[in-house]
Structure 1
Amino acid sequence: MNVTDLRDELTSHADDLGAAPDFRAGVAGRVRRTRRRRAAAACAATLAVAAVAAGVVTGTGRPAPAVPAGPPTSSASAAPMIGADGMPYRAVPDAPGDVVKDGLRYRAKVADDTLAVGFIGDPGQAQASLIWEPTTTHVSFGASCYLPGLSPDEASKYMVSVGLEGGKDGVFGRQCSGERPSERDLPSGGIPGEPGQGWDALTVGKAARLRVRLVDAKTMRPATVEGVQLSGAVYELGSEQPVRDPSGKTVASLPDVVEHQGYRYELIGLQAEPLASWHDLTSGVPAGISLFTWGSAGGDLPGSGTAESGIRLSGLPSGAEVRPYGSWGTAPAPDGSDHTVTVTTVGKRPDQGTGFLALYRLEH
């Protein structure tokens, strides 16, 4: 499960949000939002999109994007809306550095993640190169593949693959679709490398070149489909907090800031517990609105299962939810939620891995 589930956003009309009252001593406590470790580099970074028609996009030097952003999609005076999950929602206006084309967009900034380089291809363009100079080895990849006119079964025979040029295989892939993306904002989500360690194929300050291309899903060989539209992006990640197992090894990394439906939330509490010696994790819910990220990671956890086996979250209006061992995600806590959220195990527990519960609240 990738941390891509941690995107999207919250509301400026939330009540004052106090610190969570019930985090256990020794594990709880507010995590002060850290200054982004690459702030100096990110301040200088804007997106470059060069020679898209030739299939080459570069982030070096960060000139303005070839496709200018359109007018803002919302204004500060717009009345806040409520999403289907009961959480506040607002559209995020276009900003300098966004890549915007054909009604799709890669945002220049998502939470504390910064777009290093990205492209939205022309119809029929079956591959492109992304070139940038990394300021960190902690990155995520985004990619999408639209095959107009193909049925779901036909489109599923193809994938978009992302990998270093010169490498044998891609490090990230996504299945193609015969329908345009349902949302304007294209996601990232593929995070290479070991948790908390970054991607060792990158060197800070040394130009990197990624290849984004259409491939056959069975053979992984390059393919061509009339009218195909690909997109790809590299985001440099903001600061994160590690989730560690009993040996001190990092098994997952959670961002200090996430977005939900247009609003930013900051991490204020994080608990973790070995699955082999499990004790339930319990958190107070601040007044107003918040988010919980919860699940388990580490070892050889299967990442699959049923409602009878896994990590269970209870205490939210949406009801209890069970996630398979080896996966995690985010659950909203709208205004009026219960005062306590509990994470426990269901069914037989693995003898390895770590369960965790993190609390985010609206950023002030």
Structure 2
Amino acid sequence: MNLDDLRAQLRDQATEIDPATPVPLPTVRRRAKTLKRRRTAAAVTTVAAAVVAVALAVLPGAVNTSTPDPAKPPPDYTRDGITIPGTVGPDRLEKAEIGKPGAGPLEFTWTPTSTSVTFRPYCRTTATKPLTVHVTVDGRLLATEDCDDSGSSPRHAGSVPPNHVFWTEVPPGKTARVRVSVADQNGRAVRSTAQLALGIYRSPVPSATPAPAEVRGLPVRPSAPDPDDYVKEGIRFPAHVGGDTLLNATIGDLGQRSVKLRFTAASARTGLRLFCTGDRTDPYRRPMLSIRIDGRPKHPATCINRLTDFYKNDGGPDPINATPGQTHEVTIDLVYAKGRPATIPGARIGVGAYALPPERLVETSAGSVGIDELARYGGYTYKLAQVKTVPAKTATELSTDAPAGKPFLIGYGAANLGSEPGEAKILGLTQEVSFRLDRGGIPADSLTRWTLSYGQPAGAGGKITLKVVSGRQTRGLLYLALYLPG
């Protein structure tokens, strides 16, 4: 993974931090590479790491106060040509550290006192090659930004929301170690003459968290806790997600690299949701989750979660073969490439088994596909209203009419494709979306589909078009699905 990929991943996760807005599911079955193209909300590109108490420190280069006077804003902190503002909008400076040019990484400690924080790094360099500034806290990489500041104050900003997994590792009251360093475009640490600084700000907790950029305008509401939720140390497998119903779940302890889960299938439509924070120390060497069901191996999953509301990270449950009324056992192991066991201090893994709602079987001469009857977005459930298909061998476009005056979801994907990979775009949405066309290891006769969905606010209507832009398919079908509020 290069830096652009990592930065895109951090941005993608940052756009999903809305506690009130789950990621589209259960329609979403796999996370599209689409999201690499969605550079939404530059203010959240760096998923930052910090919270602190405000005070003047005796040590030079640090601001650290514990009981701020709400009526008196903290002062700016200036040193060696850099100024860390005392306030930025409603944010109040709680700690600052400014290094000298070429002094190397900044390292300092601080003790979080809340979970509402904005963090602003600074990096000034005369280097001719692109560099990045990395911020880690207790070994977890929480921010990457271009080292390109030319003024006297930080330009970049990001947040760590209350539902970030970081707070399960470093809760308020626990002293953490912050490190600010410089790396090349591949994430390798480099010696540099860069001047580094970091400001950590206390931010007010918003009364209503705004939705991610792609769902602004859609109705949203928080998901109420359910007594049947499975919760461990702040991480929650909800009892109900859209039409999905929790059968059983487990979450391992910190550092535990293998967990087992037994559940009794309620129907043949069963899915797994996975939780994993093993990428905390080195996202450039991302671990995987090995999955075995009743001893039989399943395709591994990437280990990446940023939020304790895990279902907002993933693309929905991964369907598995289950027998109604039969008890099954799932084993999840944290591994590196080729199945080598991964022992990562501070990592946590978990798995939940869910009974999935009915789906609509669409059969055509080009193949068959199962489409979920229900999808969830923004705390609301949407119902499948329409499905359109075309043969992938002979057609390169497919359109449907967007409704006027009401929010909706567009589901899209392909099934039973040939072996040649390609790419398609979805046009007519508030933002252009693209996704890959390939089999992804799914048997040609499988009804398991690769479906994604995208929420749209109420508007004037119009055409939504799926258009193939590369690759040639020898078989299979393309489809668009329209979901309306239930």
**TM-score, L = length of structure 1:** 0.65
- 1:10-21 paired onto structure 2 within 5 Å: none
1:210 is aligned to 330
Residue 300 of structure 2: which of 164, 173, 190 is its match? 173
Aligned length: 269
- 1:221-260 paired onto structure 2 within 5 Å: 221-246=340-365, 249-250=367-368, 252-260=369-377
Q: CA RMSD of the aligned region, Å? A: 2.9
Amino acid at match of 2:379: G
Amino acid at match of 1:233: G
Report the Cα distance in structure 2 between the residues aligned to 1:234 and 1:244, rounded to whole angstroms: 28
2:427 is aligned to 314
Report the Cα distance in structure 2 between the residues aligned to 1:332 and 1:96, rounded to whole angstroms: 29
Secondary structure (helix, strand or coil) at the match of 1:89 reads coil
Amino acid at match of 2:337: K
Report the Cα distance in structure 2 between the residues aligned to 1:337 and 1:275, rounded to whole angstroms: 30
CA separation of 1:5/1:328 partners in 2, compared to 1, >3 Å: closer, same or farther?
farther
Identical-residue share of aligned pairs (%): 23
Report the Cα distance in structure 2 between the residues aligned to 1:100 and 1:139, rounded to whole angstroms: 21
Amino acid at match of 1:321: V
For structure 2, the residue ranges without an aligned partner over 5 or more in a row are 1-21, 28-206, 439-449
- 1:1-364 paired onto structure 2 within 5 Å: 6-7=24-25, 82-85=211-214, 86=216, 87-147=218-278, 150-154=281-285, 156=286, 158-167=287-296, 169=297, 171-177=298-304, 181-182=306-307, 184-186=309-311, 187=314, 188-192=316-320, 199=321, 202-215=322-335, 217-246=336-365, 249-250=367-368, 252-278=369-395, 280-286=397-403, 287-302=405-420, 304-305=421-422, 310-318=423-431, 320-326=432-438, 328-347=451-470, 349-363=472-486
Report the Cα distance in structure 2 between the residues aligned to 1:175 and 1:283, rounded to whole angstroms: 33
Residues 276 and 352 of structure 1 are in contact (CA less than 8 Å); yes or no, is this contact kept in structure 2? yes
1:127 Cα deviation after fit: 1.8
CA deviations over 1:270-325 (Å, ceiling 9, x no partner): 111112232743322222211111122213344x54xxxx333222232x433332
Amino acid at match of 2:436: P
For structure 1, the residue ranges without an aligned partner over 5 or more in a row are 10-77, 193-198
Residues 26 and 317 of structure 2 are in contact (CA less than 8 Å); yes or no, is this contact kept in structure 1? no
2:176 is aligned to none
Higher relative contact order (CA 8 A, sep 6+): 1
Report the Cα distance in structure 2 between the residues aligned to 1:6 and 1:133, rounded to whole angstroms: 26
Report the Cα distance in structure 1 between the residues aligned to 2:478 and 2:370, rounded to whole angstroms: 13
1:258 Cα deviation after fit: 0.5
Secondary structure (helix, strand or coil) at the match of 2:213 reads coil
The structure that has the greater radius of gyration is: 2
Residues 144 and 160 of structure 1 are in contact (CA less than 8 Å); yes or no, is this contact kept in structure 2? no
Secondary structure (helix, strand or coil) at the match of 2:319 reads coil
**TM-score, L = length of structure 2:** 0.50
Judging by fraction of residues, say which structure has more strand.
2
Residues 145 and 174 of structure 1 are in contact (CA less than 8 Å); yes or no, is this contact kept in structure 2? no
CA separation of 1:322/1:212 partners in 2, compared to 1, >3 Å: closer, same or farther?
closer
Secondary structure (helix, strand or coil) at the match of 2:388 reads strand
Report the Cα distance in structure 1 between the residues aligned to 2:451 and 2:267, rounded to whole angstroms: 25
Amino acid at match of 2:437: Y
CA separation of 1:312/1:131 partners in 2, compared to 1, >3 Å: closer, same or farther?
same
Report the Cα distance in structure 2 between the residues aligned to 1:8 and 1:207, rounded to whole angstroms: 23
2:87 is aligned to none
